Protein backbone atom coordinates (compact mmCIF):
# COMPACT_ATOMS: atom_id res chain seq x y z
CA UNK A 1 0.00 0.00 0.00
CA UNK A 2 1.11 3.57 -0.54
CA UNK A 3 1.13 6.17 2.22
CA UNK A 4 1.37 9.79 1.12
CA UNK A 5 2.47 12.67 3.29
CA UNK A 6 4.95 15.47 3.60
CA UNK A 7 8.08 15.60 5.73
CA UNK A 8 8.35 11.84 6.21
CA UNK A 9 12.13 12.03 5.88
CA UNK A 10 14.41 10.15 3.51
CA UNK A 11 15.44 7.29 5.86
CA UNK A 12 13.10 4.35 6.57
CA UNK A 13 11.12 4.67 9.75
CA UNK A 14 8.36 2.33 10.91
CA UNK A 15 4.76 1.68 9.88
CA UNK A 16 2.12 -0.11 11.94
CA UNK A 17 -1.38 -1.30 11.12
CA UNK A 18 -3.21 -1.05 14.41
CA UNK A 19 -0.72 -2.55 16.85
CA UNK A 20 0.98 -4.76 14.23
CA UNK A 21 4.27 -3.46 12.79
CA UNK A 22 4.95 -3.88 9.08
CA UNK A 23 8.12 -5.58 7.84
CA UNK A 24 10.14 -2.67 6.46
CA UNK A 25 12.66 -4.87 4.61
CA UNK A 26 11.03 -4.48 1.18
CA UNK A 27 9.45 -1.09 1.84
CA UNK A 28 10.35 2.02 -0.12
CA UNK A 29 10.51 5.37 1.68
CA UNK A 30 10.82 8.96 0.45
CA UNK A 31 10.05 12.29 2.07
CA UNK A 32 6.58 12.24 0.50
CA UNK A 33 5.64 8.56 0.05
CA UNK A 34 6.00 5.19 1.74
CA UNK A 35 5.19 1.86 0.05
CA UNK A 36 4.83 -1.10 2.38
CA UNK A 37 3.03 -4.46 2.48
CA UNK A 38 0.28 -4.93 5.01
CA UNK A 39 1.53 -7.51 7.53
CA UNK A 40 -0.13 -10.94 7.40
CA UNK A 41 -0.65 -10.72 11.18
CA UNK A 42 -2.80 -7.57 10.87
CA UNK A 43 -6.20 -8.23 12.42
CA UNK A 44 -9.26 -7.98 10.17
CA UNK A 45 -11.24 -4.79 10.64
CA UNK A 46 -10.66 -1.06 10.52
CA UNK A 47 -7.31 0.03 11.92
CA UNK A 48 -5.30 3.23 12.12
CA UNK A 49 -2.09 3.35 10.12
CA UNK A 50 0.78 4.86 12.10
CA UNK A 51 4.03 6.14 10.60
CA UNK A 52 7.05 7.00 12.75
CA UNK A 53 9.78 8.76 10.71
CA UNK A 54 13.35 7.57 11.38
CA UNK A 55 15.21 9.38 14.12
CA UNK A 56 12.06 10.87 15.64
CA UNK A 57 9.46 10.01 18.22
CA UNK A 58 6.68 11.62 16.13
CA UNK A 59 3.72 9.32 15.53
CA UNK A 60 1.80 10.28 12.41
CA UNK A 61 -1.63 8.64 12.43
CA UNK A 62 -3.95 8.24 9.43
CA UNK A 63 -7.02 10.48 9.48
CA UNK A 64 -9.16 7.59 8.21
CA UNK A 65 -9.18 3.94 9.23
CA UNK A 66 -7.70 1.37 6.83
CA UNK A 67 -9.77 -1.79 6.42
CA UNK A 68 -7.92 -5.10 6.67
CA UNK A 69 -10.07 -7.85 5.20
CA UNK A 70 -10.35 -11.43 6.46
CA UNK A 71 -7.69 -13.62 4.90
CA UNK A 72 -8.94 -16.34 2.58
CA UNK A 73 -8.25 -19.93 3.61
CA UNK A 74 -5.95 -20.58 0.65
CA UNK A 75 -3.96 -17.56 -0.39
CA UNK A 76 -1.80 -18.38 -3.39
CA UNK A 77 1.63 -16.98 -4.18
CA UNK A 78 1.36 -13.30 -5.04
CA UNK A 79 -2.18 -13.00 -3.63
CA UNK A 80 -1.18 -11.38 -0.33
CA UNK A 81 -2.48 -7.98 -1.38
CA UNK A 82 -5.90 -9.44 -2.26
CA UNK A 83 -6.64 -9.81 1.45
CA UNK A 84 -6.60 -6.07 2.17
CA UNK A 85 -8.56 -3.08 0.99
CA UNK A 86 -6.62 -1.69 -1.96
CA UNK A 87 -6.69 1.96 -0.96
CA UNK A 88 -3.98 4.48 -0.32
CA UNK A 89 -3.77 6.38 2.95
CA UNK A 90 -2.79 10.02 3.25
CA UNK A 91 -1.05 11.20 6.40
CA UNK A 92 -0.49 14.84 7.20
CA UNK A 93 1.52 16.45 9.97
CA UNK A 94 0.68 20.16 10.10
CA UNK A 95 2.18 20.59 13.57
CA UNK A 96 5.36 18.51 13.20
CA UNK A 97 5.79 18.73 16.97
CA UNK A 98 3.08 16.58 18.56
CA UNK A 99 1.23 13.31 18.02
CA UNK A 100 -1.76 13.47 15.72
CA UNK A 101 -4.93 11.68 16.90
CA UNK A 102 -6.68 9.14 14.70
CA UNK A 103 -9.96 10.51 13.38
CA UNK A 104 -13.27 8.66 13.58
CA UNK A 105 -14.18 7.62 10.10
CA UNK A 106 -13.82 4.76 7.74
CA UNK A 107 -12.94 3.63 4.29
CA UNK A 108 -15.85 2.12 2.43
CA UNK A 109 -15.43 -0.52 -0.22
pLDDT at residue 50 above 60? yes
Domain harbouring 37, CATH code: 2.60.40
Tell me the C-alpha distance between 21 and 107, whole Å: 20
pLDDT at residue 32 above 70? yes
Tell me the C-alpha distance between 100 and 61, whole Å: 6
In a domain, 102, yes or no: no
pLDDT at residue 93 above 60? no
C-alpha distances out from residue 26 to 35, 39, 97, 102, Å: 9, 12, 29, 26
In a domain, 38, yes or no: yes
In a domain, 103, yes or no: no
In a domain, 16, yes or no: yes
pLDDT of residue 83: 41
pLDDT of residue 28: 95
- Domain residue limits at 57: 2-90
More confident residue, 109 or 91: 91
pLDDT of residue 73: 57
φ and ψ of 78, to 5 deg: 85, 0
Average pLDDT of every residue of the chain: 76
In a domain, 53, yes or no: yes
Across 26-64, b (16+ Cβ under 10 Å) vs e yields ebebeeeebebbbbeebeeeebbbbbbbeeeebbbbbbb
Decide: helix, strand or coil at residue 72.
coil
pLDDT of residue 84: 45
In a domain, 104, yes or no: no
- How many distinct structural domains can be found in the chain? 1
Question: Which tens digits make up the pLDDT trace of 76-89?
Answer: 544 444 444 445 55
In a domain, 105, yes or no: no
Q: What is the pTM of this model?
A: 0.66
Amino acid sequence: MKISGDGLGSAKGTVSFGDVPADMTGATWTDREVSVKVPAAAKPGKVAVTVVPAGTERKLVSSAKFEVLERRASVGAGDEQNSVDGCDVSITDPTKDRDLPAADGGIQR
